[in-house]
Amino acid sequence: MKEVRPGPHPTPLAIVEPEQTNHAMAFEKLIDVERCQPDKGTFVACNGVELAVFVLDDASRAVVLDNSCPHASGNLSGGEVRDGVVLCPWHQWEFDLGTGVCTHSDRAVVKTYPAEIRDNEVWADLS
Ligand code: FES
């Protein structure tokens, strides 16, 4: 995994290169839990897919969404998390962290990925 320095535009905290993934498994390691702020989003790019990674509930649960808001491509990893939703920082649409469905309209849905924490690492199935 390559370190990425923060910049003025959303920059992934971690970039997972294809050679670092185990293609025999559907799940891929995204990032160490300790690199994620509790109850906040972390921007991770994996094999060209931009993701918002959330470590919740005292680091017992991980949620992985597409990072791009379906409204106008806002950076969901920069959104505030509260009461099981993430607020898009651009226009404050809320998305349920369990389903990815917008709380204002079920026609707006952000893709979610099966995710879990294994040995203090966030893993997700991006297939
Ligand atoms: S871009 Fe996310 S609410 Fe508008």
Taking the centre of ligand 1 as the mean of its atom positions, its distance from the CA of residue 41, in whole angstroms, is 15
In angstroms, the CA 39 to CA 8 distance is 22
Closest C-alpha among 121, 87, 117, 89 to residue 14? 121
10's CB contacts (< 8 A; 6+ apart) are: 43, 67, 75, 77, 78
What the block records as the tokens of 51 is: 């993701």
pLDDT tens-place string over residues 53-96: 999 988 899 999 999 999 999 999 999 999 999 999 999 999 99
Angle at 99 (CA atoms; ends 94, 103), nearest 5 degrees: 30
Residues with CB under 6 A from ligand 1: 69, 71-72, 74, 88, 90-91, 93
- Residue 4: the pLDDT is 44
pLDDT tens-place string over residues 4-31: 444 445 778 888 875 555 554 589 999 9
Q: Hey, whose CA ends up nearest to atom 3 of ligand 1?
A: 91
In angstroms, the CA 55 to CA 34 distance is 9
> What CATH number is associated with residue 49?
2.102.10.10
Taking the centre of ligand 1 as the mean of its atom positions, its distance from the CA of residue 109, in whole angstroms, is 12
Q: How many domains does the chain have?
A: 1
